[in-house]
């Protein structure tokens, strides 16, 4: 089995890297936590499902005017290693 990974469009942010959901006011997006704002995720052949589309380029959203960085709580609570 090949472990080679290919880039596919990130689904929650629709390859834009910016996620805007019900929690976000109009015009405000947050950096997509799934792809970390890259707009794609790398999947190996056995992870790909039928609705994954090959990633070509990051999509530009016309509806976003402000990007708010929201830290993952997991990252927030990660304490320095001693």
Which residues make up the interface to Zn ion (CB under 5 A)?
A: 10, 13, 32, 34-35
Q: Which is nearer to Zn ion, 36 or 45 (CB)?
A: 36
Query: At its nearest, how many Å lie between Zn ion and the CB of residue 45?
Result: 21
Q: How far apart are CA 60 and CA 47, in angstroms?
A: 26
Q: How far apart are CA 79 and CA 1, in angstroms?
A: 37
Q: How far apart are CA 45 and CA 1, in angstroms?
A: 9
Query: At its nearest, how many Å lie between Zn ion and the CB of residue 3?
Result: 22
Query: At its nearest, how many Å lie between Zn ion and the CB of residue 35?
Result: 3
């Amino acid at each position: 089995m090949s472990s080679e990974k290919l880039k596919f469009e990130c689904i929650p942010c629709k390859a834009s890297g910016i996620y805007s959901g019900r929690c976000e006011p109009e015009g405000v997006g947050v950096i997509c936590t799934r792809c970390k704002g890259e707009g794609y995720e790398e999947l190996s052949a056995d992870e790909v499902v039928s609705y994954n589309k090959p990633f070509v380029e990051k999509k530009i959203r016309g509806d976003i005017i402000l990007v708010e960085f929201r830290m993952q709580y997991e990252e927030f609570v990660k304490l320095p290693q001693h």
